[in-house]
Chain A
Amino acid sequence: QQQVKQSPQSLIVQKGGIPIINCAYENTAFDYFPWYQQFPGKGPALLIAIRPDVSEKKEGRFTISFNKSAKQFSLHIMDSQPGDSATYFCAAILGYNFNKFYFGSGTKLNVKP
């Protein structure tokens, strides 16, 4: 059973558009939610992360929105560029076992010029 459910599986947007990637979880013991970007043949790289006591966090063109009551969080990429084309993974970490990441299944983003 997947602990973190991610959608959509793939996403195509035009340059300048705002792709939105969604994740949902059930376990309320999760207390740290990072997002990773992965290019083909490379390892994931941390983009941005949020804790559940915050509803929104921005870093550059990347924004996480967090809805604790709905147990959902999402990544928004403002003014998307072709160089943003990659696979994006959300993840969650348990507060009592903070060594173990649970990753979503990934969203492959294609930003067209």
Chain B
Amino acid sequence: GAGVSQSPRYKVAKRGQDVALRCDPISGHVSLFWYQQALGQGPEFLTYFQNEAQLDKSGLPSDRFFAERPEGSVSTLKIQRTQQEDSAVYLCASSSRIGGNQPQHFGDGTRLSIL
């Protein structure tokens, strides 16, 4: 596809369950970003990958959050032992160049609801 693809679009999980969210960036894009967007708020940075290397994970809210990009393309954000405060839209973005001050192309997000 031409854009960033995220799946699933919607995910409902019970508190305590583990979830995995997938991001397919634009082919060939070096940089990949994950953001968390709470209802009515702006996106908040979670983590950044340059190819397969996770260079910045300072935004991950707790050690229950884990992200990987093992082959430098598809990325997965995993949340273990989900809590209600994890309910949000999780956005993935990719960029063809290194660094954030380049156009970032966002996916449409995964809306996660924790019951």
B48 x A99 contact (CB < 8 A): yes
> Residue B16 at the A interface, CB < 8 A?
no
**CA of A99 to CA of B7 in the docked complex: distance in angstroms?**
24
Residues of B near A31 (CB, < 8 A) are: 101
Residue A73, interface by CB 8 Å: no
Measured CB to CB, the closest approach of chain B to A112, in angstroms, equals 21
Interface residues of A in 11-51 (CB under 8 A from B): 31-32, 41-46, 49
User: Which residues of the other chain, B, contact A89 by a CB distance below 8 angstroms?
Assistant: 42-43
Within 8 A of A (CB), among B49-84: 55-56, 58-59
Bin the interface of chain A by size.
Answer: 20 to 34
The interface on chain B, measured as residues whose beta carbon lies within 8 A of the other chain's beta carbons, has a size of 26
Q: For residue B65, give the distance in angstroms from its CB to the closest CB of chain A.
A: 16
CB distance from B93 to the nearest CB of A (A): 7
Q: Which residues of B contact A103 (CB under 8 A)?
A: 42-44
Question: A residues 44-61 with Cβ under 8 Å of B?
Answer: 44-46, 49
- The answer, yes or no, to whether B31 is at the interface (CB within 8 Å) is yes
B11 to chain A, nearest CB (A): 15
Residues of B within 8 A of A (CB): 4, 31, 33, 35, 40-45, 48, 55-56, 58-59, 91, 93, 99-101, 103-104, 106-109
12 interchain pairs (CB within 8 A)? A32-B101, A43-B106, A43-B107, A43-B109, A44-B43, A44-B91, A45-B106, A49-B101, A91-B42, A97-B56, A100-B45, A102-B45
